[in-house]
Structure 1
Amino acid sequence: MDPILHNGAMFSLAIVFLVVALLLSAFRILREYERGVIFLLGRFYKVKGPGLIIVIPIIQQIVRVDLRTVVMDVPTQDVISRDNVSVKVNAVIYFRVIDAQKAIINVEDYLQATSQLAQTTLRSVLGQHELDEMLANREMLNTDIQSILDTRTDGWGIKVSNVEIKHVDLNETMVRAIARQAEAERTRRAKVIHASGEMEASAKLVEAATKLAQEPNAILLRYLQTLTEIAGEKNSTILFPLPMDLLNGVLNKDKDESSKNSDKQN
Structure 2
Amino acid sequence: MFSTFAVVVVILLALVLGSLKVLREYERAVVFTFGRFHGVKGPGIVVIVPVAQQMVRVSLRTVVHDVPPQDVISRDNVSVKVNAVIYFRIIDPEKAVIQVENAHEATSQIAQTTLRSVLGQHELDEMLAERDKLNRDIQRILDQHTDAWGIKVANVEIKQVDLDEGMIRAIAKQAEAERQRRAKVINAEGELQASEKLMQAARVMQQQPQTLQLRYLQTLVEVAGDRASTIVFPLPMDLIEPLLRKPKAD
- TM bucket normalised to smaller: over 0.9
Following superposition, the deviation at residue 239 of structure 1 comes to: 5.5
Question: How is 1:26-65 mapped onto 2 (pairs within 5 angstroms)?
Answer: 26-65=19-58
Q: Distance in 2 between matches of 1:216 and 1:31?
A: 96
What SS is found at the alignment partner of 1:148? helix
- Structure 2 counterpart of 1:250, from 193, 217, 239: 239
Give structure 1 regions of 4+ aligned residues with deviation exceeding 3 angstroms.
Answer: 8-12, 237-240
Fraction of identical pairs, as percent? 61
Question: How is 1:4-15 mapped onto 2 (pairs within 5 angstroms)?
Answer: 8-15=1-8
What SS is found at the alignment partner of 1:93? strand
2:116 aligned partner: 123
Following superposition, the deviation at residue 154 of structure 1 comes to: 0.3
Q: CA RMSD in A?
A: 1.5
Which structure 1 segments of 5+ residues have no match? 1-7
| Aligned residue pair count | 250
- Structure 1 counterpart of 2:157, from 143, 161, 164: 164
Question: Given the alignment of the two structures, is residue 228 of structure 1 paired with residue 224 of structure 2, yes or no?
Answer: no
TM-score by length of 2: 0.95
- Counterpart of 1:253, as a letter, is P
- Counterpart of 1:137, as a letter, is E
- Structure 2 counterpart of 1:17, from 10, 19, 26: 10
1:93 aligned partner: 86
Structure 1 residues 179 and 61: CA distance shift in structure 2, 3 A: same
Following superposition, the deviation at residue 20 of structure 1 comes to: 1.4
1:148 aligned partner: 141
What SS is found at the alignment partner of 1:232? helix
Following superposition, the deviation at residue 254 of structure 1 comes to: 2.3
Question: Given the alignment of the two structures, is residue 260 of structure 1 paired with residue 214 of structure 2, yes or no?
Answer: no
Q: Distance in 2 between matches of 1:239 and 1:75?
A: 79
Structure 1 residues 80 and 237: CA distance shift in structure 2, 3 A: farther
What SS is found at the alignment partner of 1:189? helix
Following superposition, the deviation at residue 9 of structure 1 comes to: 4.1
- Counterpart of 1:84, as a letter, is N
- Counterpart of 2:238, as a letter, is G
What SS is found at the alignment partner of 2:226? coil
Which structure 2 segments of 5+ residues have no match? none
Give the structure with higher Rg (CA): 1
Q: Distance in 1 between matches of 2:91 and 2:53?
A: 23
What SS is found at the alignment partner of 1:167? strand
- Structure 2 counterpart of 1:79, from 52, 72, 83: 72
Q: Distance in 2 between matches of 1:88 and 1:237?
A: 71
TM-score by length of 1: 0.89
Following superposition, the deviation at residue 74 of structure 1 comes to: 0.7
What SS is found at the alignment partner of 2:247? helix
Structure 1 residues 180 and 237: CA distance shift in structure 2, 3 A: farther
- Counterpart of 1:132, as a letter, is D
Following superposition, the deviation at residue 183 of structure 1 comes to: 1.1
Q: Distance in 1 between matches of 2:239 and 2:111?
A: 89
